[in-house]
Structure formats: structure tokens, C-alpha cells
Structure 1
Amino acid sequence: MRTTLQQVRRWFQAPNDATALQRPSHGRFEVQGADALLAPHNGLISTLKGLAGVPESHWQRLYQALLDRFAALVQLLPASEAHHHAGPGGLLRHGLEVAHNALLLRRGILLPPNASPEEQASQQDLWTYACFTGALLHDLGKPVVDQEITLHHANGSSHAWTPVSGPMPEGSQYHVTFRRGRVHRQHERIAPLLAPILLPQHGLDWLASAPTLLDAWLAAIQGAMEDAGPLGAIIAKADRRSVAENLAGGVTPQMPTTRVRPLAERLLTGLRHLITSGELPLNRRGAAGFTDEHHIWLVSKRAIDALLVHLIEEGQPDIPSRNSRVMDELQQHGIVVPNGDRAIWLCDITIADWRQSLTCLKIGLSRIWPDPDQRPSGTGVTIHPSATKPATETDSDEEGGTGASQNNRPSAPGLPTPSVPTNEADFPLPPMSTSTGHLNDPGSNDIADDLALPLPVDLNAGTGRDTDEGATQNAEKEIKQIEAGTSAAAAPTPSPHSHEKDAEAASGDAGKQFLAWLRDGLATGRLAINTPQARIHVIEQGLILVSPGIFKDFDPARWNHVQKRFQKLKLHQRTHDNMNIWTCKASGARKQALMKVYLISKNEISELGLTLPPSNPAVELLLMP
């Protein structure tokens, strides 16, 4: 009998017994064999075997061999310092969970996309193997670039170790610290270097036998999920589910019966991750935060916007839609130092000849960095809190600044404060192909749906079809339970080739052709704008194009090339961090969603000769990309 989803969840929610095999002595762990490391996860591995659906010899030769090598390599290393799966054995467990989620999603999808039934049948097992291996490898670069691992031998000698050197020898000990100043997401580049160490040679040969799949697989393990197509979408979604379950469903030592971590704890964990990973830069001109001897002062709207994006992208449940609600939660639990009865301080920040007045949240350094040695130095930064209280708790990071200070901001458009009436009907929302959008719906799944990465149409189109034998029906039921509500009405996909192209498009450049198609579609009303399924919205700062959906509407086969050529035109506004992609939040009375977008400023819109309707009040541009 197949294992039910409920049984698997009980395994996930059970205490992690990986650390019960040994306790660290003076911060050191014994190097163990693969059998001992995998023993606490036997139930999950049995489920993986059933989802793979291959003969025993095939399983042992390709799958179990990889699991053994993976466990021997990662040992009891954590997956992060202060975020998801941060305890001993976290990296191993996270890899297994992502592999499970990926195989569960894969069983409802016909791959490769747009192939004949004969080709899909012949490559079925190969694509399943690509999902499995990509899931295990996706975070494998973390011990290389994020962690400092010291190996101690029985003879008393010790030296630095990296996974590139191969597994640690049994009989040795190791301890782990995290590098300071590490670069966010740098670990994603390392996975191809470690693949030959982990994958059996015949497994690598098998993946290489399908060049198109190999290209997508390499993109996926390096974090380029949009370039990886359906394979990248599966692994990205599987990863976020594992992260969300670990952060939102963890059991705290103080409250053994608690299933969901308090919101304040998750908010603090998210802030700590954003700050220590460098996503919220500190102590420089235009930074998101500044430190003095005892406190960190976070630019209020920028930090809260980034925190909400981060939590929603992880799929965490019960996330507030208003910044003021987040600040209230932080204040009520003593995480921020209040300014009288308010959470916000008005501060004058000076670095050399740079000066700006900002609305900030004040948090003790010990909340972010419990270890005093890890705290950053605020040398060169002067912070003068003002005795004047800010007007509101939802001030943007520009409010309170003088005209001179405004000129020192990075060259990016001003950002509005949230303005979502609580008693109004929902405003038109953008497409939510991967989510119901009901974050607070008590009837939703335990695994929250993802709101940030639009998935290819294939991910939703394939569900409900048999992929192999009668056992697939149960897998599909599990997928539908997880995916409940995600098959929203597909956005319109007008064909780019059925419309006239102007003289500019005659050059053959895909970016200019796309621009001509966009201009014609807006002029004729053929392309929807500011509607629930629209890929185009007007906001206060200009025009936003939902990516990658708008490019897939134009050319489903070559959308990635079109997107790159569009970027070459340099019509879009780049973010504060010099990135191409912005994040927008669409909010209504009962739902919210995130969109990845390109922003075309009002000046560029005028030069393009476009006449646009009023702004969509439901869509707000966030600070972080």
C-alpha cells in the first residue's frame, strides 16, 4: 500500500533524531558512515523509493548510491546559520525533503514539455532522476562558500576541509563555523563542481545523454530556475516548501505541543537572515540599516517590505499584509525598542559627507547577533535619533528627509506607502498561477502555496494525467491536495505572429519586436492591463511588466531570448541594488500576491508614445528586487 501524504507529514513533524546518534563534544562531531547518518530518515527514503518507481537494481545503482555519497559528504552540517534547517543534520534533512517534494510534484507532469507521447515515455525515468539529483545538489555549495569546517584527526593534527576534497575520513572529528561577510546565493555556483563527486558515473552519463535536459539540469543546480524551465520550477517550489515547513512548523523546546512558531519569532528569524546574508546591506551610503555600539537601526519601510517579500516567497502562513501590523507585532514582543508608544524613530544618519533623515526601527544588536564577536562595527556612521515622533507608523524611508537628503538617494523612483482599504472589495489582482493567494485562509493546505515564482504552464497542465501504471493515481491525488487552488484560470496568451509589426520590428531584433507587439497591444486594447489576469499594470512609478509571463505570451518557445534582448534596450528602470527585476505586492481585502516585474518609468513611457489608464491601486512596488 502506498504511503499517504499524512504519514509522510508525520515523519517530517517528528523530532529530528539525527542528533540523537551523537552529541557534539566541545563543538565537534564524529565523522559517521552513510548508514548511520541515513538511519533516522529511513521512512522518508522508503517514500522516495516508491516515488522514483524504478526496479531495485536501478534504485541501488543510481539513487541509493547517490544518497550514500550525499550523506557521507554533508554529515551533520547545518543548512543555514540562523534560518531554515539550522541545527545539526539540517543540510541532509533539507536535501531529502526537497527531493521528496520534487518527486511528488514531478509525478503529475508530463516531461519533457511539448514532446510526443513516445518521447515522454522513453525519457520518463531520466527526468525523474534529474528532479531527484537536482533537488539534492541545489544547496550543496553552502559548505564550500558559507561555512568554515575544520577536520581534526586522531593524531592531533587539524586542517580546513571543504567538500571539494571529497568525504571526510571516518574516525575523525569536525566542527563548523560560518564565514563573516559571505555573499548571498554565491553557493549556487558551486554545485556543478561537486556533481562528479556525488553522482555515479553512469548517472552523469545518463543525464548527459539528453543535451536539452542536461542544459536545464545545470541551470537548476546553479539557481537559474527560470532558465531551467519546468525542471527549475519543480525544484524551486520543492525547496520553498521544505523551508516553509521547517520555519513555520518547527517544534520549540519550551512548548513541545506547539506546531506553528509564533509570528514574532518568525519575523525575527527572517530579519536575522536578511541582515546576516547581506540582503539588507549595512553601514554604507543608501544602506538598509546602520549600527552603533548597542543597536541596529533598520530603515523601516525598506526592511519591512523586504521581510514580507522574504516570508511570502517562503510560503509561510498567516503573514500580515500591512507593514503597520508587522511593526505592532515586533513592538508587542519587545523585539524593537519603542519610541514612546510608537515603533518608529526619526534618525539623522551621517557617513562622511553623506547625510539623510530616515524613519528607522531600533533593535538591540544581541537580537540579531547573539555572539558579540560577530557584530558589525559601526565605525564611521553617526546616528542621531530625533526627539520628534514620526507622523505615522507606515512612513516610507524617505519621509522626514529634507530636500537635500532626497538628492542623495540612489537613482530609483520614489516608493508609495501601502494604501489598501480594509473595507473595500478586492481590487483587480494580477495572475496567480502558483497560488490561491489566500494566505490566511484556515481551510488552506498545511504546505503554503508559493506566490513569487510563476511556474511554466506545463506544471499546471500536466496534473490529472497518468504517467505510469495505476499507482500514479494516488500520487496525483497527493499533488492535488498540495496544489489545491493553484490551477487558476490561465492568463491570455495572444500570439505575437498574428499581429502586424511596425518598421522598428522589421530589424529582426527580438527585443524590438516584443516592444512593437507591446505598443500595438496597448494601443488596440488587445493586451489586458490592470485586470486580474493581466501581465501589465500601471503603478505610480510607471508601467510594470510581469516576468516571465509577458515574454511567454509573446513567444512561448523563445521567451528567454526575448527577455534578454528586451533588457539590452535599457528601457527599464533598475533597482537600488542595480538589478533588473523588481518585486510588486498586489493586495486586496482578502488576498495578496507577489510579482516579479520589469519597471518602465514614466519618462520612457512618454517617449514610447503610450497613453495609459490610471494606476492600479492594488499593486505596490516594493524596495527589494
Structure 2
Amino acid sequence: MLTTFFRRKPDQNEVVQSLPKYSIARSGKDLLNTSERQALIRKIKRLFSITEEVWANHYLYAIEQFAELVQEVPASEIHHHSKAGGLIDHTLEALHAGIRIAQGYVLPPNSEPEHIASASDRWRFGAFIAILAHDIGKIVTDIEVVYRERGGEFQHWHPWYGNIPVEAEYSYRYKKRASNAKIAKSLHEKAAMSLLPRLLTRKAAQWVFEDTELLAQLFSTVTHSTFGGQAIAEIVRTADSASVAKNLGADTGIRTDHSSAVPLHEKLIVSLRKLINDGDLKRNKPGAAIWVTETDTWVVSKATMEAVRVQLLNEGHKGIPKNIVRLFEVLREHDLLIPNSEGDSVWTAEINDFAKNWQQKLTFLRFKNEIIWPTSNPDTFDGEVLPVDKAGNVIKSDPEESENATQTQQPVVDKNAEVLNQKIDDDKPLIQPPKELPEAKAEYEVLQVKQRQPEVKLPTTKSLSNLTAKQTQVQIPEDAQSSVHASTGVSSSEAKNLWKHSRRVQEDLLVQNDFVAWLLKGISRRNIRVNESKAPVHILENHVALVTPAIFNLYLDKNSLKKRLYEKRAGDKKVYTLLQKELESLDIHQRGSNGQNIVRMSVEGQRSQSELRVYLLNRECFPSLVNFSANKAMTIHL
């Protein structure tokens, strides 16, 4: 017994080296054969009133097929359930939460009692499959996998052509983000549909196809379509959020042991990584919030941390300090920031983009790259970031001093996940030898903005108290936008010529959106004022301009029931921002020159000039407005 007590503990390096270099593919049944997963599956089973045979043949079959398909990949690279096996764990948690949530719904909705009795089991099975498939598309578009069978060579695996052979060695990594954020962010949502048949037996598929309404909601939910998901989509969305919040240490309404709580500094870093990885913070270009050099990541200070705070609140975290400076201190106290020469958190630095002949001075938080990019190598800025003092003089930093300024410890992570997701050069192929999104805009405190040749002086931005509470996004201040667009405007027809990829959607599809239906009905009945003083809608030659937030607040005032529903979902955000987000998802509005959703429009009157903030919708989408004359007094500033 004493010899056991005094036995030398293995060195950490020995433990890491003893772990297998590659994962081994296993059957779905084996992957689910852990005490935690089996306990969760038993809880899920108890939520259905079905026979043992039906459960085994169709429900458990679907879960095992899912597990064997995704193997031990994580649910996300740097956010929730990011360790090995995270996608299975997240999906099982979402299944358990979702089926419980579904019990609070009358399914099918808006049906006669006799139909509900005969169809409710089918609809709950539809919700079950939708939850199971909601993240499955990630293995098609987001993750690159190679495998080799015994004695063979590594080859690429694609889930469309079968599972990874059982007992084969495999390795995975996350792909680099595509340059188009909008496509990259939603691609896995569309790809999920291609794997849906893998989860269904022939009998189960026939059963679902007997109900057209269920089929429509299932398909719309799995593909994250703007329209049609309705009850099934609500169940999946709520279940997904519950699992994410639980994993990230947010308040789920269930008391847990205090030791399982995620510390605040780790929440801040994980949230910041997510905002950057999802493209919600622009990087390495004029107006960006993130600037990456060879060794450090410079993060525009106040507005970025405000975005992190909003992100955490939206996920359900409690106890997040309102004071942004306190968040700086938390990061510095845990040695996650590089302090400036005075030992404080915030740096002042000058950005020089020589290619674009552009310069800007901002306040930053400074991180070592490995803190923000633990599993990948980011693209670096092709320019320079120069720290300056209060007088504007460049600070000459000693490389050794900078290296020792902080310990670059990362938040506690799972050791197995660290080995399985080793830092890989993203530019090298995974087999040896066999971009950035139209990001959301960043609002920040601009200390000085200069354009070289000619020099243009711009005023400072609005204070952060005016920050738009848009989920996980912050807006670029108009003051820091291009001086050319600030001083000149264009007509509706000229603006349309600049709209290279305008999208036309049939009006009968658009009116399935409650807000659009209310808008068109109000215009046709003259309940909504158009093309007059203080009107919330202006019809131009090629656009329908919606004044924000006036038109959205008007909708909420006229629809009290909808307003209460939005208020429940809004949390700390302004309620109308949820309507804005829904409108933006239709993708029928023209964006500004810097990618902003809301643009300026000036109104020339006889005695004065006023300015509006508007969404510019494509008028071609609304043939019912063809008889309205165009307002010629409007000038658009993109």
C-alpha cells in the first residue's frame, strides 16, 4: 500500500506521448457505450410512448447511425462542446432537452383534436430527427477528415460516400474559413439535408412522407430556411441553445456543483474566439476590430469587449460585469493580456496599411496569437501595427521584454482534445504527401483617422453608450466610413447600378414573413404613411426605403402579441433588432460600401435637409407597389 502511495507520478509529457496519434473509427453502438451517453439515451427513451421494437428499429437506429457517421469530431472548433466527441454529446443533450420541450407543444399545430391524437407521435419523431440532424452538415463542409485502413495509405473521407471503415485510423481538422462569410457560415446548415436519409429507415421515411406539413417543417428546419420551420424549428432552436448554454456554463435553470462552473476569464476568451471565427468581427482591413501580426493579435478594446459581453448575455450567462474596464482587469489578472509599458491593459497603436494608403490610431487589447488561435495559424496583416505613447511617439519595444511581459497560459482545456486537435499549418494538406466573411462591422473609439493624399480629418465616433445591441455584432460608426461616400450621394437608379448581386424573391414568398405581410397590407390600405414628411416608408425608383427603427417600432406597437414574444427572446437587446435580423436574413436589401446593412439617406426640402437611416429593399420584389410614384427628393449615401 505504501509503495502505491509513494509511486512516482508519470510526467505530463509521458502521458501525452502515451496517447494514440490517431483516432480509431468505431461502430455507433460502441461510441454510445459510455455510462454518460447510455444514461442520456435512457432518459430520451422514457420521453416516448412507444414499444421496445419501435424504439430499437427506428429511434435508436437513427442515433447509432448518427454516431457512426460523425465519430469523435467536436461540435465546434473553439466554442461549445469543442473536445473530441463533442458533436455526439451536444446532440444527445439537445435531443433530451428538445423532446421535453416538444411535450409542451400541441403537435401537429392548429389541428382538430381527432387528428392530433393520431399524428402527435409522428410529429414528435419529426422533431427528434430534426434535432439529430441540426449540426450533422458540419462534417460535410467544416471538417476535413483523412483515414487509412490497416497497412494502407491515408485518403480523404467524404460522408456522402459512406462511413469511415470501422477500426480504421483517422484524423481531422477544421477547414479554413471561406472568403465569403455569408456562404461559409450557412453552408453546413444546407449540407445537413444531404445526410438526412442516412438517419431514417425505409419505414420511418414512408411514415414521415405521409404528412406533407410535417415534411415541409422538417426540411425547412434542417436547412435553416427563413420560412416554413415554425413549431419544429422553434423546438430545435430552443434545444440547441439549452445544450450550448449548459456546456458553456450559462444559467440553464438547473443547479449544478460549483466546481463545474466555467470561470469568467475562460468565458471571455471562448466568446471572443467565436466572434472572430464566425466572422462577426472584421479582420486586417480598414474598419476592422482585429489586427493580427506574426506574434500578437490586437483587439480594438471597448467595442469588441462590449460585443463579447452581449454574446455571453445572449447565451444565458449570468454575473457578467457591466463595466467593460472590469472585463479588461479579469483578462489581465489571469495573464491573458500583454500589459503595456505602464502595466495597464489598454494599448494605443497606429495601424499602417501601405497597400491601401491608409492609417488609423486606435486603442487595443493585445494578446499572444496562441491565446486567440489555439488550433490554427491566422492570416497576418500585410502592414504594421505600431504601439505609440500618449504623445503619439512610437514605442520601441524590446523583443525579450515583450516575450516575458506575460505568461501565455490558455484557459484549461481537455488534454485529449489538445492532442487530437493539434495546431496544424492550415496551408499544408492534411495528407502527407498523398476567408474571411463579409464580416460584421466593429464600432470602436477612433482616436485619430487619417487618409493620406489628400488628408481628411474626421470627427471622433459616438460614445459606446450608443452601441447597437445587435446579437454578436457591432456597427461601424458612420464617422469612420469612407469620406467619399460621406460627402456625396447617389440617386436610386445610380445605387441600383452599384448593386452587383441584387436578389429577387417572389412577393408571394416574402409575404410568408409576418413583418413583410403587415408592411404591404399597411401600405395598400394607407395605414402606413409613404413618401411624406416623417413617413416610415419611402418608395424610390428602384428601392423601397424602410426608416429604422421607426418602421419596426410601429410594427411592434400594432402587434402587441408579437411584441411580447419578441421581448421574451430579446433579452438585453432592443426588441426591434430581432425584426431587423429577420429582415436581413431575407437578403433583399442593398448594403453600403463597407457592407453595413443600414445606410444613410438624405432628404432635400425647401428650407432644410434631414437625414434618415434606412434599409434599401429591392423594389423589383414588390410588384404590388408598381403604381407608386418614386420620391425624387431622396439621395442615398452608400
TM-score range, shorter chain: 0.5 to 0.7
Correspondence for 1:89: 85
Structure 1 603/370 Cα, relative in aligned 2: closer, same or farther at 3 Å? same
Structure 1 106/357 Cα, relative in aligned 2: closer, same or farther at 3 Å? same
Structure 1 315/348 Cα, relative in aligned 2: closer, same or farther at 3 Å? same
1:567 is displaced (CA, Å) by 7.2
Q: Give the AA of the match of 1:83.
A: H
Alignment partner of 1:42 out of 24, 34, 38? 38
Tell me, in whole angstroms, the C-alpha distance in 2 between the residues paired with 1:389 and 1:227. 58
Tell me, in whole angstroms, the C-alpha distance in 2 between the residues paired with 1:52 and 1:77. 28
Structure 1 62/144 Cα, relative in aligned 2: closer, same or farther at 3 Å? same
Kept in 1, the 8 Å contact 2:303–2:464? The answer is no
Structure 1 403/382 Cα, relative in aligned 2: closer, same or farther at 3 Å? closer
Kept in 2, the 8 Å contact 1:280–1:287? The answer is yes
**Aligned to 2:362, what secondary structure does the other structure show?**
strand
1:189 is displaced (CA, Å) by 1.6
Correspondence for 1:220: 221
**Aligned to 2:447, what secondary structure does the other structure show?**
coil
Residue by residue, what CA displacement relative to the aligned partner does 1:551-597 show, whole Å, maximum 9, x if unpaired?
Answer: 9xxxxxxxx8xx589975x5x9769644x5xxxxxxxxxxxxxxxxx
Tell me, in whole angstroms, the C-alpha distance in 2 between the residues paired with 1:573 and 1:606. 25
**Aligned to 1:184, what secondary structure does the other structure show?**
helix
Tell me, in whole angstroms, the C-alpha distance in 2 between the residues paired with 1:533 and 1:332. 41
Tell me, in whole angstroms, the C-alpha distance in 1 between the residues paired with 2:25 and 2:173. 16
Residue by residue, what CA displacement relative to the aligned partner does 1:241-263 show, whole Å, maximum 9, x if unpaired?
Answer: 1111112179xxxxx97210110
Correspondence for 1:55: 51
Residue by residue, what CA displacement relative to the aligned partner does 1:522-542 show, whole Å, maximum 9, x if unpaired?
Answer: 89996599xx96989xxxxxx
Correspondence for 1:400: 447
Alignment partner of 1:345 out of 344, 347, 354? 347
Structure 1 146/346 Cα, relative in aligned 2: closer, same or farther at 3 Å? same
Query: Is 1:29 the counterpart of 2:31 in the alignment?
Result: no
Correspondence for 2:61: 65
Tell me, in whole angstroms, the C-alpha distance in 1 between the residues paired with 2:100 and 2:565. 30
Structure 1 386/515 Cα, relative in aligned 2: closer, same or farther at 3 Å? closer
Alignment partner of 1:115 out of 111, 115, 136? 111
Correspondence for 2:260: 259
The 10-residue stretch of structure 1 (42-51 or 342-351) with the greater mean CA deviation from structure 2: 342-351
Query: Is 1:417 the counterpart of 2:464 in the alignment?
Result: yes
Kept in 2, the 8 Å contact 1:152–1:158? The answer is yes
**Aligned to 2:446, what secondary structure does the other structure show?**
coil
The 10-residue stretch of structure 1 (64-73 or 302-311) with the greater mean CA deviation from structure 2: 302-311
Structure 1 349/514 Cα, relative in aligned 2: closer, same or farther at 3 Å? closer
Q: Give the AA of the match of 1:545.
A: Y
Query: Is 1:301 the counterpart of 2:302 in the alignment?
Result: yes
**Aligned to 2:47, what secondary structure does the other structure show?**
helix
Residue by residue, what CA displacement relative to the aligned partner does 1:226-255 show, whole Å, maximum 9, x if unpaired?
Answer: 6522221221121111111112179xxxxx
Kept in 2, the 8 Å contact 1:137–1:221? The answer is yes
Correspondence for 1:378: 380
Residue by residue, what CA displacement relative to the aligned partner does 1:256-287 show, whole Å, maximum 9, x if unpaired?
Answer: 97210110011112222332343333222322
Correspondence for 2:233: 232
Tell me, in whole angstroms, the C-alpha distance in 1 between the residues paired with 2:382 and 2:155. 36
Query: Is 1:243 the counterpart of 2:244 in the alignment?
Result: yes
Correspondence for 2:326: 325
Query: Is 1:104 the counterpart of 2:100 in the alignment?
Result: yes
Q: 5+ unaligned residues in a row in structure 1: which ranges?
A: 1-22, 251-255, 421-428, 431-493, 537-542, 552-559, 581-598, 613-625
Query: Is 1:547 the counterpart of 2:557 in the alignment?
Result: no
Residue by residue, what CA displacement relative to the aligned partner does 1:98-120 show, whole Å, maximum 9, x if unpaired?
Answer: 11111111101112333332333
Tell me, in whole angstroms, the C-alpha distance in 2 between the residues paired with 1:85 and 1:575. 37
1:64 is displaced (CA, Å) by 1.1
Tell me, in whole angstroms, the C-alpha distance in 2 between the residues paired with 1:567 and 1:172. 43
Correspondence for 1:160: 156
Query: Is 1:369 the counterpart of 2:373 in the alignment?
Result: yes
Tell me, in whole angstroms, the C-alpha distance in 1 between the residues paired with 2:556 and 2:79. 46
The equivalences for 1:464-543 within 5 A come to: 501-502=525-526, 527=558
Kept in 1, the 8 Å contact 2:122–2:207? The answer is yes
Q: Give the AA of the match of 2:33.
A: A
Q: Give the AA of the match of 1:322.
A: N
1:408 is displaced (CA, Å) by 12
Q: 5+ unaligned residues in a row in structure 2: which ranges?
A: 1-16, 179-183, 252-256, 393-441, 471-517, 531-536, 568-573, 612-638
Residue by residue, what CA displacement relative to the aligned partner does 1:151-180 show, whole Å, maximum 9, x if unpaired?
Answer: 111122221112222212222121122223
**Aligned to 1:258, what secondary structure does the other structure show?**
helix
Correspondence for 2:631: none
Kept in 2, the 8 Å contact 1:135–1:235? The answer is yes
Kept in 1, the 8 Å contact 2:291–2:381? The answer is no
Tell me, in whole angstroms, the C-alpha distance in 2 between the residues paired with 1:519 and 1:297. 37
Correspondence for 2:410: none
**Aligned to 2:170, what secondary structure does the other structure show?**
strand
Structure 1 227/48 Cα, relative in aligned 2: closer, same or farther at 3 Å? same
Q: Give the AA of the match of 1:362.
A: R
Tell me, in whole angstroms, the C-alpha distance in 2 between the residues paired with 1:25 and 1:524. 58
**Aligned to 1:401, what secondary structure does the other structure show?**
strand
Structure 1 68/603 Cα, relative in aligned 2: closer, same or farther at 3 Å? same
Tell me, in whole angstroms, the C-alpha distance in 2 between the residues paired with 1:519 and 1:279. 26
Kept in 2, the 8 Å contact 1:225–1:233? The answer is no
Q: Give the AA of the match of 1:150.
A: V
Alignment partner of 2:358 out of 344, 354, 360? 354
**Aligned to 1:355, what secondary structure does the other structure show?**
strand
Q: Give the AA of the match of 1:399.
A: V
Kept in 2, the 8 Å contact 1:528–1:535? The answer is no
Structure 1 408/87 Cα, relative in aligned 2: closer, same or farther at 3 Å? farther
Residue by residue, what CA displacement relative to the aligned partner does 1:36-95 show, whole Å, maximum 9, x if unpaired?
Answer: 111211111111111122222322222111011111111222212222112221111111
Kept in 1, the 8 Å contact 2:522–2:528? The answer is no
Tell me, in whole angstroms, the C-alpha distance in 1 between the residues paired with 2:199 and 2:108. 25
1:130 is displaced (CA, Å) by 1.6
Tell me, in whole angstroms, the C-alpha distance in 2 between the residues paired with 1:126 and 1:386. 65
Structure 1 197/257 Cα, relative in aligned 2: closer, same or farther at 3 Å? same
Tell me, in whole angstroms, the C-alpha distance in 1 between the residues paired with 2:262 and 2:523. 53
* Identical amino acids, percent of aligned pairs: 26
Tell me, in whole angstroms, the C-alpha distance in 1 between the residues paired with 2:170 and 2:585. 48
The equivalences for 1:564-583 within 5 A come to: 568=588, 570=589, 577-578=595-596, 580=597
The 10-residue stretch of structure 1 (320-329 or 120-129) with the greater mean CA deviation from structure 2: 320-329
Q: Give the AA of the match of 1:65.
A: Y
Tell me, in whole angstroms, the C-alpha distance in 1 between the residues paired with 2:235 and 2:29. 28
Q: Give the AA of the match of 2:270.
A: T
Kept in 1, the 8 Å contact 2:358–2:450? The answer is no
Alignment partner of 2:142 out of 133, 139, 146? 146
Tell me, in whole angstroms, the C-alpha distance in 1 between the residues paired with 2:538 and 2:587. 8
- TM-score, length-scaled by structure 2: 0.62
1:194 is displaced (CA, Å) by 0.7
Kept in 1, the 8 Å contact 2:444–2:461? The answer is no
**Aligned to 1:86, what secondary structure does the other structure show?**
coil
Tell me, in whole angstroms, the C-alpha distance in 1 between the residues paired with 2:362 and 2:388. 10
Kept in 2, the 8 Å contact 1:295–1:364? The answer is yes
Kept in 2, the 8 Å contact 1:184–1:279? The answer is no
Kept in 2, the 8 Å contact 1:248–1:317? The answer is no
**Aligned to 1:174, what secondary structure does the other structure show?**
strand
Residue by residue, what CA displacement relative to the aligned partner does 1:185-241 show, whole Å, maximum 9, x if unpaired?
Answer: 432121001111222233233333222322222222223476522221221121111
**Aligned to 1:346, what secondary structure does the other structure show?**
strand
Kept in 2, the 8 Å contact 1:73–1:163? The answer is yes
Correspondence for 1:438: none
Kept in 1, the 8 Å contact 2:250–2:316? The answer is no
Correspondence for 1:127: 123
**Aligned to 1:39, what secondary structure does the other structure show?**
coil
Tell me, in whole angstroms, the C-alpha distance in 2 between the residues paired with 1:77 and 1:24. 21
Structure 1 215/114 Cα, relative in aligned 2: closer, same or farther at 3 Å? same
Tell me, in whole angstroms, the C-alpha distance in 2 between the residues paired with 1:199 and 1:187. 20
